[in-house]
Structure 1
């Protein structure tokens, strides 16, 4: 099993905690090889990552982040350039044909054996569906019925990426759309990989934060999406998550490593943190502006019958329309 994380030094502790959860829950796996796409990770954090992996009898390799990415002018918004590392793993790991890519802000809550053994011969990527309005798909040239995968947990067929010369296509897309990549590398993946080269995984393999704060019917109204995952998939992802993805959410201003977090599954992050080399890492300060903190508090107090249509319009109609104008050169 080949596992890849991509991280800067800031997020290296989160990668280490996620890695700890992976190793604990996959002890029965015969072989696990860990690869870290390294964006200037400190010697201290590299040492801890190495100790973590070797402590479970596994091996670890650090791969420098593609220099051409660092030198490309991209509007990365609130994200880190490391997030683009997953797009170029086929060339960074030339001897591998398949990998599982896991984001740093996750907890692996079970075995990945069945996912690793899945037949990927006919596909480039496998991942769980994201929860976005249909307009986001249309903006990048997809049909509203097409698969739109969340990039937090992915299985890549690197051999197929090389065969289709997809890294060149990824890089051209990044350059051509550098002023507006709505969801950065995730947009690139979904826009550039053909529909018949995607496999949709169960939602439980990417149980992101918003699923834990809204009822299914509220999600439907909020996202303005006619083509979303089923209620059964939603319930399974909430109750039995294989991968917990602690994404940002307008209903939860912080995350489990930040002070005053209230994520319903945040206790799992804290459980694995205690078992990691970063057990003594203090909680991060909430560095949002006062304005954003006040907005977050107001949102949580707002009745759902008012909140859902309001936020639904903002995120499902207004923002994607605004992004489209920027993309089309009208903004």
Structure 2
């Protein structure tokens, strides 16, 4: 069976390049023998060593090609809001995909670097988005915040999606000049921006987004106790073990020490050991500060079973 090439895009600086490399490795490892990929890297000053390690993956997998698009100059002139400490200005690069990628590419899967893939991505590329600008998965946390009046999203009329996994109809994106619409909104947003480019994409596109199955963006923050009140939370948590795409979408990352014993975290650790970044030194959180800051706000948490369960599964990062 001959398959079309799957075009996949990442955006990263050198700090996150190793984690992007691990993500690419996970895609290749989980792929079917007939899967073919072209990776498009929006490159914010990735060094030669990390680029060489990414290219070395061809020694084991030959079913992919790769292109780097320098964006350092673009990022330098960006002066957009950054509310979340674990993000950088590189996150906004995805807003420029229509003008950066070659015009012959009409469909691309954009992925964040804190993602691993556990099954072939071919099925997501079969999603029909011809009448949409893009497809994405609901971001449950933002929906819940909206229900409590903590943000400005109208959850009753539209579904807010997480921008870490976006299946983009580049043909329609260019036809409707979406890039201009997004940048225009950034200059004069109707509401305060809480979630960087993700807010911009959602507020501008709204009804032009196709909602995909949660399996295409398994949001690992759902494991935390703070999510216990979410609708269908037990089902969502159970599905995390069967999601083809697992997304560590929170400050709690699997490459940080004491990041827990959830099966997806352990799988990430095994993947890392199989890559050219096997000797990557893990970041160490300030456990004392994290723990006592949390304890100050939640003084009785240590008497609750779910608190210790969260620590076991997701490590101390779940306290952030």
Give the structure 2 partner of residue 244 of structure 1. Answer: 246
Within a 5 Å distance, the mapping from 1:63-78 to structure 2 comes to 63-65=69-71, 67-77=73-83, 78=85
TM-score calculated relative to the size of structure 1: 0.79
The equivalent of 2:229 in structure 1 is: 219
Measured on the aligned residues, the alpha-carbon RMSD in Å equals: 2.8
8 Å CA contact 1:74, 1:179 repeated in 2: no
| CA–CA distance in structure 2, aligned partners of residues 8 and 287 of structure 1 | 24
Match of 1:259 among 253, 257, 261: 257
Gaps of 5+ in 1: 221-227, 307-331
SS of 1:88's partner is helix
TM-score by length of 2: 0.82
CA distance in 2, matches of 1:23, 1:89: 23
After superposition, give the CA deviation of every residue in 1:211-251 in whole Å (9 maximum; x if it has no partner). 223497x232xxxxxxx6x45851552231211111226xx
Aligned to 1:319: none
Distance in 2 (alpha carbons) for counterparts of 1:278 and 1:232: 34
Q: Which secondary structure does the structure 1 equivalent of 2:79 belong to? A: coil
Partner SS for 1:16: helix
Aligned pairs, number: 291
**Superposed displacement of residue 296, structure 1:** 3.9
Structure 2 counterparts to residues 112-261 of structure 1, below 5 A: 112-131=121-140, 132-133=142-143, 136=146, 139-140=151-152, 142-177=154-189, 180-195=192-207, 197-214=208-225, 218-220=228-230, 230=232, 234-235=236-237, 237-248=239-250, 254-261=252-259
Which runs of 5 or more structure 2 residues have no equivalent in the other structure?
1-5, 308-320
CA distance in 2, matches of 1:12, 1:153: 17
Query: Structure 1, residues 263-321: CA drift from partner, whole Å, max 9, x if none?
Result: 51210111111111101112112258x54442246655264899xxxxxxxxxxxxxxx
Moved more, 155-164 or 169-178: 169-178
1:92 aligns with 2:100: yes
